């Protein structure tokens, strides 16, 4: 609530960011929130991490990491600098900045599910105080910040842009990518008001090398969707090209490598068994849903999504045909899936197409196992259940399966060992360049 006797809240807040006396609260300590927390700790801020997962909180406070590419030592060092984790939302009153990094999935109707965002905001509201900046980083449709978060803050009597400051700044983490880190990835930021934008720029400026201001929270929200829809559409294009090339008996990966030698006007995208991760399979639906409210049918985006969603079934067809040519049926065949993370060299399984392949193969009667050095045991997941552990790739183990299905091309796999001992390899990632008698490209 507003106190007319207090000096300008914005000036006080900017001063705290400048001298690094501000306390930063990061809500949601996953692949986005934890790296961001560590970055703020590194540059001298006191950081409070908030998560409803008691196991995560306990591990962090013990100086232990639960994300593969984040070393335990980084957590321990942050703890020494004052970083603490908690599940107590009341402690946000200690903070000057509240950064929300929670999931935005789809519901069963493939519509936006804002329950994590709104549940988090509702839990924060009783403890929000004047002089704080609230930043939403979760990917969402244009209008979410203004239509959902701002009214909730105003319902407590705050004047946004005067008492409290509201911004949207989309996350751009790429887990496992050694070429980029939180500090070096430019940060887009849009504010509800000009004062809000100033607060957002001051919040992110000390931690990120380049902060990119935009005119509104809606522009920032759409920026994130454009980035990921651009990828989804181009992946859909190259997946369709893969099918065409396969019918023509042309290796699409050879074609992509050749096209990529053009120094202008072409960006290589690579086909696969489907889309995975927390953004690419989901973000297009956030925009198509919102666009319908404006009477716009996003045909191009939806067509790309349809092609990408069909990829697992296309791969199953390739497996079935390859087995048939060798006098075997899919039912009863032993299949080892190589890689169940959604992309190479990480343990992240969110929306992994590998898991969908496993389920479809199992539903058709195949006996399915997996090998993934980053996922030693199949985790508990809301929608997928396998009581499995990773199979070690020994010559005997490889030879015991009817099919080895390369679904995620981890660098740790010995592909030459697999080639030497596998009866049949279905390669969805183009790891084998030459034509080999026991390799079918899919």
Is the CB of residue 26 less than 8 Å from the CB of residue 36? yes
What is the dihedral sign for C-alpha 288, 291, 296, 300?
negative
Starting at the edge strand that comes first in sequence, how are the strands of the sheet with 439-441 ordered? 367-371, 334-338, 403-406, 425-427, 439-441
Of the residues 101, 189, 196, 279, which is catalytic? 279
Please state the length of the chain. 442
CATH 3.40.50.720 occupies which residues in the chain?
9-217, 232-441
What is the reported pLDDT for 354? 96
Q: Max CA-CA distance within the chain?
A: 84
Best CA proximity match to 32, nearest among 205, 238, 277, 336: 277
What is the reported pLDDT for 280? 82
Residue matched to tokens 């404006």: 294
pTM to 2 decimal places: 0.92
How far apart (Å, rounded) are the C-alpha atoms in residues 176 and 412? Answer: 14
Confidence of residue 189 (pLDDT cuts 50, 70, 90): very high
Q: Which two tokens stand for residue 416?
A: 């030459």
The angle subtended at Cα 301 by Cα 299 and Cα 307, nearest 5°, is: 100
pLDDT in tens, 228-275: 999 999 999 999 999 999 999 999 999 999 999 999 999 999 999 998
Cα–Cα distances (Å) from 111 to 114, 125, 145, 217, in that order, read 10, 26, 18, 21
Confidence of residue 7 (pLDDT cuts 50, 70, 90): low
Measured in degrees and rounded to the nearest 5, phi and psi for residue 45 equal: -90, 150
- pLDDT over 50 at 6, yes or no: no
pLDDT in tens, 340-393: 999 999 999 988 999 999 999 999 999 999 999 999 999 987 677 899 999 999
Is the CB of residue 417 less than 8 Å from the CB of residue 393? yes
How far apart (Å, rounded) are the C-alpha atoms in residues 234 and 59? Answer: 39
pLDDT in tens, 296-329: 999 999 999 999 999 999 999 999 999 999 999 9
- pLDDT over 70 at 2, yes or no: no
Confidence of residue 1 (pLDDT cuts 50, 70, 90): very low
Cα–Cα distances (Å) from 401 to 149, 320, 368, 397, 417, in that order, read 53, 15, 10, 7, 14
Question: H or E stretch including 85?
Answer: strand 84-86
Q: Given CATH 3.40.50.720, say whether it is the number of domain 232-441.
A: yes
SS3 107: coil
Best CA proximity match to 207, nearest among 83, 317, 45, 73: 45
CA dihedral 391→361→111→235, nearest 10 degrees, is 80
Strand pairing of 187-191 and 165-168?
antiparallel
- pLDDT over 90 at 278, yes or no: no
Q: Which two tokens stand for residue 100?
A: 């929300």
Annotation says 196 is catalytic: no
How far apart (Å, rounded) are the C-alpha atoms in residues 37 and 99? Answer: 10
What is the reported pLDDT for 118? 97
User: How does 103-120 read in b/e, with b if 16+ C-beta sit within 10 Å?
Assistant: bbebeeeeebbbebbeeb
Confidence of residue 402 (pLDDT cuts 50, 70, 90): very high
Output the DSSP codes for 326-368: TT--STT-EEEEE--SSSTT----TT-HHHHHHHHHHHTT-EE
Average pLDDT of span 44-50:
98
pLDDT in tens, 61-101: 999 999 998 999 999 999 999 999 999 999 999 999 999 99
Tell me the pLDDT of the chain averaged across its residues: 94
What is the reported pLDDT for 307? 94
Is the CB of residue 33 less than 8 Å from the CB of residue 50? no
The residues, ordered by sequence, that sit 6+ positions from 382 with a Cβ below 8 Å of its Cβ are none
The residues, ordered by sequence, that sit 6+ positions from 335 with a Cβ below 8 Å of its Cβ are 319, 361, 366, 367, 368, 369, 401, 402, 403, 404, 405
What is the reported pLDDT for 279? 79
> DSSP label at 193?
S
Q: Which two tokens stand for residue 371?
A: 């090998």
How far apart (Å, rounded) are the C-alpha atoms in residues 13 and 196? Answer: 11
Q: From the centroid of its chain, how far is CA 228?
A: 10
What is the reported pLDDT for 99? 98
Best CA proximity match to 337, nearest among 294, 367, 295: 367
Assigned architecture for domain 9-217: 3-Layer(aba) Sandwich (3.40)
Best CA proximity match to 260, nearest among 240, 238, 239: 238
pLDDT in tens, 135-156: 999 999 999 999 999 999 999 9
What is the reported pLDDT for 96? 98
């Amino acid at each position: 609530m507003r106190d007319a006797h207090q000096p300008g809240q914005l000036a006080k807040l900017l001063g705290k960011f400048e001298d690094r006396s501000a306390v930063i609260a990061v809500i949601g300590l996953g692949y986005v929130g934890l790296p961001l927390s560590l970055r703020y700790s590194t540059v001298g801020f006191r950081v409070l991490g908030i998560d409803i997962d008691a196991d995560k909180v306990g591990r962090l406070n013990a100086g232990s990491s639960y994300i593969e590419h984040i070393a335990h030592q980084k957590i321990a060092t942050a703890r020494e600098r004052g970083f603490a984790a908690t599940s107590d939302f009341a402690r946000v009153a200690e903070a000057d900045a509240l950064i929300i990094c929670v999931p935005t999935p789809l519901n069963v109707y493939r519509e936006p599910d804002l329950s994590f965002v709104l549940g988090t905001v509702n839990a924060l509201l009783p403890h929000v105080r004047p002089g704080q900046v609230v930043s939403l980083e979760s990917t969402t449709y244009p209008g979410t910040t203004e239509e959902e978060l701002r009214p909730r803050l105003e319902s407590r009597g705050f004047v946004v842009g005067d008492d409290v400051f509201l911004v949207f700044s989309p996350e751009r983490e790429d887990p496992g990518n050694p070429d980029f880190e939180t500090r070096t990835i430019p940060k887009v930021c849009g504010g509800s008001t000009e004062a809000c934008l100033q607060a957002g720029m001051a919040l992110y400026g000390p931690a990120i090398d380049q902060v990119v201001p935009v005119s509104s929270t809606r522009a920032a929200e759409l920026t994130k969707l454009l980035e990921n829809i651009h990828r989804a559409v181009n992946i859909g294009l190259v997946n369709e090209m893969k099918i065409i090339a396969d019918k023509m008996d042309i290796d699409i990966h050879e074609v992509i490598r050749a096209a990529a030698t053009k120094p202008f006007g072409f960006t290589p995208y690579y086909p696969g068994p489907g889309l995975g991760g927390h953004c690419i399979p989901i973000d297009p639906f956030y925009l198509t849903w919102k666009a319908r409210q404006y009477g716009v049918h996003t045909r191009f985006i939806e067509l790309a999504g349809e092609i990408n969603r069909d990829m697992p079934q296309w791969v199953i067809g390739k497996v079935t045909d390859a087995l048939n040519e060798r006098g075997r049926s899919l039912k009863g065949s032993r299949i080892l899936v190589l890689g169940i993370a959604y992309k190479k060299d990480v343990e992240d399984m969110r929306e992994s197409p590998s898991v969908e392949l496993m389920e479809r193969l199992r539903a058709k009667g195949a006996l399915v196992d997996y090998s993934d050095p980053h996922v030693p045991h199949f985790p508990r997941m809301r929608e997928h259940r396998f009581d499995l552990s990773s199979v070690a790739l020994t010559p005997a183990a490889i030879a015991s399966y009817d099919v080895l299905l390369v679904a995620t091309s981890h660098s740790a796999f010995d592909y030459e060992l697999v080639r030497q001992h596998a009866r049949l390899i279905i390669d969805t990632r183009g790891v084998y360049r030459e034509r080999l008698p026991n390799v079918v490209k899919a």
